[in-house]
Amino acid sequence: MTISTKHDIRFGDWSALGADARTIRFEVFVEEQKVPAEIELDDMDAVCLHAVAYDAAGTPVGTGRLLPDGHIGRMAVRAVARGTGVGGALLQALMAQARVRGDVQVVLSAQTQAAPFYLRHGFAIDGEEFFEAGIAHIEMRRIF
C-alpha cells in the first residue's frame, strides 16, 4: 500500500522495506547518534509493519515501524529531509494504520529532545524520563 502525500510513503514487511529502512536507521541512529549497531536491529523487525518515505527522486528519506502491540518505533528521518514534513507524514500514516487495524491507542518511546514533535501530534507524556542506548527517552501515548 502507498499513501500519496508530498512524500511517497510505502508500507510493507521487513522483506519488502528492510533494506531501505535499515539504511536510514543506520545513518540516523548508528552514525549520527552513536547507537551501537548491534542493538539497532532487533527481532521485532520481522513482525512489524514498516513505513518508508521516499522523496520525489525516489530516495528513501524516512522510516518508522508499527509493532503488533501498538507501539510506534524506530522513527528516523535523514538530515537532508528534516524540516520537510516527512516525519509528521510518517507518524500520521503509522497512526492511521494502527486505527485501521483496530488499535485504540499508540505508544512510543521518544527521545526526550523529540518530545515536542510528538506533543504537536497529539501525544501525551506518560511516565518518567529513562535512558536507552545512552540517550534520554520518555514514554508517550496517544489515545484515539
99-108: pLDDT as tens digits:
999 999 999 9
Place of cell 529532545: 113
Longest dimension (CA), the chain: 41
Q: Which residues of 88-110 are buried (b: 16+ CB within 10 A; e: fewer)?
A: bbbbbbbbebbeeeebeebbbeb
User: How much is the pTM?
Assistant: 0.93
Residue type, 65: R
Look at residue 95 in the predicted model and tell me its pLDDT.
98
Q: Band the pLDDT of 6: cuts 50, 70, 90.
A: confident
The pLDDT tens digits of the residues spanning 7-64 come to: 899 999 999 999 999 999 999 999 999 999 999 999 999 999 999 999 999 999 999 9
CA nearest to 82, candidates 10, 32, 13: 32
CATH numbers and ranges of domains, the chain: 2-103 (3.40.630.30)
Classified as helix, coil or strand, 56 is coil
